[in-house]
């Protein structure tokens, strides 16, 4: 990781706030989320359902579902601010500079068009190439993501492919214009375990070959452990912890992260039961005062119920939003 840390970030998200106006008031779904992704880095983003992982990805690429909106904060891609771009400029940027792999391939692929048409159209929209060259590129992409007999199968429709093969096509589509950043939102959720590993390997290998950065959104810590350089842990729309993946997995500091780690079975584990985090994620209209995790936290302090902790810098480039470490710093 030192080499990545020395480079200026490819993507920089600063104090991102996403809100949803409702009849009963404004709901804050993301609350001042900040992180960077270095060139060539894989950042994993984890948390329970409803934590705000997919929302973060959608906000970055300008695909928030109305009435959702970016209320404040900034998103920068290689030094250019992109959260305030006009719709047409943002549309051109998607695909060309940022590729997106969605959870359900059927939301990315048009069932009425052949895979060839969709790939070639994407390549020609973003790159100045002929039809023949675009088709050759498309066949090469399908072959690279592991589609057998790619030159023949490129003219099939999406429904002719299995779920795992469709997801490979979606990866090819996301990488068609050679983007700098790929946002992969739960790319393996509906797939068999063996197929999941293949899909993640394909995504990681191709992005590494092309020097692309990856933001990998998932609830599966096993996938993060095998794939990511760093991991960001989200809870109730806020960052709980962010740091090098090995450090976070081996020695989680935030009590929520520790709970997530403890819920993963290991080959060396001897405990009869896995760790269980009591309670559930709060609703957007019922986020508690102070630290959002305080009603479920086994190490809660009185301060946690009153004040919201900001990210506190720790050793090794890690940051943790927890008052436990502010007290440590004061004691030191």
> What mean pLDDT, rounded, does the chain reach?
90
**pTM for the whole structure:** 0.91
pLDDT of 1 above 70? no
Q: pLDDT tens, 27-56?
A: 999 999 999 999 999 999 999 999 999 999
- CA separation for the pair 184, 92 (Å, rounded): 19
Least confident stretch, 108-112, 147-151, 264-268, 319-323: 264-268
Q: pLDDT tens, 262-301?
A: 766 665 655 566 677 888 999 999 999 999 999 999 999 9
The runs of H, that is alpha helices, within 61-179 are 87-96, 105-108, 115-126, 131-144, 150-153, 163-175
The pLDDT value recorded for residue 7 is 65
What is the mean predicted confidence (pLDDT) over 327-331? 56
321: how many CB neighbours lie within 10 A of its CB? 23
pLDDT of 181 above 90? yes
Q: pLDDT tens, 61-88?
A: 999 999 999 999 999 999 999 999 999 9
The pLDDT value recorded for residue 3 is 47
pLDDT of 2 above 50? no
pLDDT of 319 above 50? yes
Q: Which CATH number fits domain 2-97+179-331: 3.90.230.10, 3.40.50.300, 1.10.645.10, 3.30.470.10?
A: 3.40.50.300
Q: pLDDT tens, 229-250?
A: 999 999 999 999 999 999 999 9
Sign of CA dihedral 296, 301, 306, 309: negative
DSSP state of 134: H
The pLDDT value recorded for residue 275 is 72
- CA separation for the pair 332, 326 (Å, rounded): 10
For the chain, give the percent of residues with pLDDT over 70. 92
Highest-confidence range of 3-17, 208-222, 297-311, by mean pLDDT? 297-311
pLDDT level of residue 191 (50, 70, 90 thresholds):
confident
Q: What are phi and psi of 75, to 5 degrees?
A: -125, 125
């Amino acid at each position: 990781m030192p080499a990545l840390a020395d480079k200026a970030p490819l993507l920089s998200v600063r104090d991102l706030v996403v809100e949803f106006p409702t009849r009963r008031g404004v709901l804050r779904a993301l609350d001042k989320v900040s992180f960077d992704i270095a060139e060539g880095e894989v950042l994993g983003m984890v948390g329970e359902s409803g934590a705000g992982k997919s929302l973060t990805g959608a906000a970055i690429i300008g695909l928030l579902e109305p009435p959702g909106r970016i209320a404040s904060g900034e998103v920068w891609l290689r030094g250019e601010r992109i959260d305030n771009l006009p719709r047409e400029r943002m549309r051109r940027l998607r695909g060309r500079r940022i590729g997106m792999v969605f959870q359900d391939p059927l939301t990315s692929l048009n069932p009425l068009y052949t895979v060839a048409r969709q790939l070639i159209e994407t390549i020609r929209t973003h790159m100045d190439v002929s039809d023949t060259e675009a088709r050759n590129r498309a066949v090469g992409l399908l072959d690279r993501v592991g589609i057998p007999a790619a030159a023949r199968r490129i003219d099939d429709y999406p429904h002719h492919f299995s779920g795992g093969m469709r997801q490979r096509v979606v990866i090819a589509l996301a990488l068609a214009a050679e983007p700098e950043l790929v946002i992969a939102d739960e790319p393996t959720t509906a797939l068999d375990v063996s197929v999941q590993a293949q899909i993640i390997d394909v995504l990681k290998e191709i992005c590494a070959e092309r020097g692309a950065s990856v933001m990998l959104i998932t609830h599966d810590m096993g996938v993060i452990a095998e794939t990511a350089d760093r991991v960001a842990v989200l809870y109730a729309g806020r960052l709980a912890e962010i740091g090098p993946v090995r450090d976070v997995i081996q020695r989680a500091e935030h009590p929520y992260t520790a709970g997530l780690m403890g819920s993963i079975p290991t080959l060396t584990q001897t405990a009869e039961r896995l760790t269980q985090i009591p309670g559930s994620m709060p609703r957007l209209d019922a986020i508690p005062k102070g630290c959002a995790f305080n009603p479920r936290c086994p190490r809660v302090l009185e301060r946690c119920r009153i004040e919201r902790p900001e990210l506190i810098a720790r050793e090794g480039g890690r940051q943790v939003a927890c008052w436990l470490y502010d007290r440590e710093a004061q004691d030191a």
